[in-house]
Chains A and B, each alone.
Chain A
Amino acid sequence: MNNVWAIATKELRSYFLSPIAYVVLSGFLLIMGFMFWNMLAQFSRFVAIYSSMQQPGMLEQLSLNDMVVMPLLGNMTVVFILMMPLLTMRLFAEERASGTDELLLTSPISTLEIAFGKFFGATLFLCVLLGLAFAYPAILMYFGNPEIAPILTGYLALLLLGMSAIALGLFASTVTDSQIVAGVLAGGMLLMLLLINWPADAVGESMGAVLRYLSITEHSTDMMRGLIKVEDVVYYLSLISVGIFLSQRSLESLRWR
Chain B
Amino acid sequence: MIEVDRLTKFYGNHAAIRDVSFSAEPGQILGVLGPNGAGKTTTMRILTGYMPASSGTARVAGFDVFEQSLDVRRRVGYLPETPPLYAEMTPTSYLDFVARIKGVSRGDRPGAIERALHATATDDVAHQPLGTLSRGYKQRVAIAQAIVHDPEVIVLDEPTIGLDPKQVIGIRKLIKGLSSDRTVILSTHILPEVTQLCDKVVIISRGEIVAEDTTDSLTATEDLEQVFLRVTTSDVVADEEAVAESTHAEPDDATADAGEEE
Please report A residues at the B interface, Cβ cutoff 8 Å. 2-3, 6-7, 10, 13-14, 17-18, 98-110, 255-256
Q: B122-163: which residues lie under 8 A (CB-CB) from chain A?
A: 145
A-B contact count (CB 8 A): 70
Q: Which 3 A-B pairs have the closest CB atoms?
A: A99-B82, A103-B84, A17-B88
Chain A residues near B70 (CB, 8 Å)? Answer: 108, 110
A104 to B84, CA, bound (A): 9
Give the distance to chain A from B142, nearest Cβ to Cβ, in Å: 9
Chain B residues, CB < 8 A from A255: 50-52
B26 at the interface (CB under 8 A from A): no
12 A–B contacts, CB within 8 A, in A order:
A3-B100, A14-B89, A98-B84, A102-B45, A102-B80, A103-B145, A105-B49, A106-B48, A108-B71, A108-B73, A108-B103, A256-B52
Given contacts A108-B74, A255-B50, A255-B51, contact A99 B97 (CB under 8 A): no
Cβ distance B180 to chain A, nearest Cβ, rounded Å: 23
A163 CA / B51 CA spacing, docked (Å): 31
Docked CA distance A10–B87 (Å): 13
**A183 nearest CB across to chain B (Å):** 19
Asked if residues B52 and A106 are in contact (CB atoms below 8 Å), the reply is no
Contact of B88 with A108 in the complex, beta carbons under 8 Å? no
A104 to B94, CA, bound (A): 13
Q: Could you tell me which residues of chain B, from 53 to 96, have a CB within 8 Å of some CB in chain A?
A: 70-71, 73-74, 76, 78, 80-89, 93
In angstroms, how far is the closest chain A Cβ from the Cβ of B24? Answer: 18
**With A99-B83, A100-B84, A255-B52 given, is the CB distance from A106 to B73 under 8 Å?**
yes
Q: How far is the CA of A107 from the CA of B253 in the complex (A)?
A: 51
Inter-chain CA distance A18–B80, complex, in Å, is 25
- Please determine whether B52 and A103 come into contact, CB atoms closer than 8 angstroms: no
The residues of A that contact B71 with a CB separation of less than 8 Å are 108
A113 closest partner in B (C-beta) = B101
Q: Enumerate chain B interface residues (CB-CB to A < 8 A).
A: 45, 48-52, 70-71, 73-74, 76, 78, 80-89, 93, 97-98, 100-103, 145
Distance (whole angstroms) from the CB of B134 to the closest CB of chain A: 18
Q: In the docked arrangement, what's the CA distance between A10 and B101, Å? A: 11
A18-B88, A103-B145, A109-B101 given as contacts; is B73 within 8 A of A256 (CB)? no
- Secondary structure class of chain A's binding surface, majority of residues: helix
Q: Which of B49, B81, B82, B100 contacts A106 (CB 8 A)?
A: B49
Least CB distance from A51 to B in Å reads 54
Cα A100 to Cα B86 in complex, Å, equals 7
What chain A residues lie within 8 Å of B102 (beta carbons)?
A: 107-108
| List of A residues within 8 angstroms of B93 by Cβ | 13
Q: Which residue of A lies closest to B87 (CB)?
A: A98
Instruction: Verify A256–B101 contact, CB threshold 8 A.
Output: no
With a cutoff of 8 Å between Cβ atoms, the chain A residues found around residue B50 in the complex are 102, 105-106, 255
Q: How far is the CB of A115 from chain B (nearest CB, A)?
A: 14
Q: Which residues of B contact A13 (CB under 8 A)?
A: 89, 93
A2 — nearest CB in chain B belongs to which residue? B100
Q: Point out the residue from B80, B100, B103 that lies within 8 Å of A99, measured CB to CB.
A: B80
Residue of A98, A99, A106 with most chain B CB atoms under a 10 A cut-off: A106
Cβ A103 vs Cβ B73 within 8 A: no
> How many Å lie between the Cα of A108 and that of B89 in the bound state?
21
Residue numbers in A under 8 Å from B80 (CB-CB):
99, 102-103, 106
How far is A98 from B94 in the complex, measured between Cα atoms in Å? 15
Contact of A102 among B74, B76, B82, B87 (CB under 8 A): B82
Q: B78 and A106: CB pair below 8 A?
A: yes
B125 smallest CB distance to A (angstroms): 17
Contact (A102, B73) CB under 8 Å given A255-B50, A256-B51 = no
Interface centre among A99, A102, A255 (most CB of B within 10 A): A102
**What's the least CB distance linking B111 to chain A, in Å?**
18
- The residue of chain A having its C-beta at the shortest distance from the C-beta of B11 within the complex is A257
> In the complex, what distance in Å separates the CA atom of A103 from the CA atom of B83?
9
| A104 contact set on B, CB distance < 8 A | 101
Given contacts A105-B50, A106-B49, A255-B50, contact A100 B101 (CB under 8 A): no
B78 lies within 8 A of A14 (CB): no
**Separation of A13 and B97 alpha carbons in the complex (Å):** 11
Given contacts A17-B88, A18-B88, A255-B50, contact A107 B83 (CB under 8 A): no
A102 to B102, CA, bound (A): 13
User: Considering the chains assembled together, what is the distance between the CA atoms of A249 and B27 in angstroms?
Assistant: 38
A255 CA / B66 CA spacing, docked (Å): 11
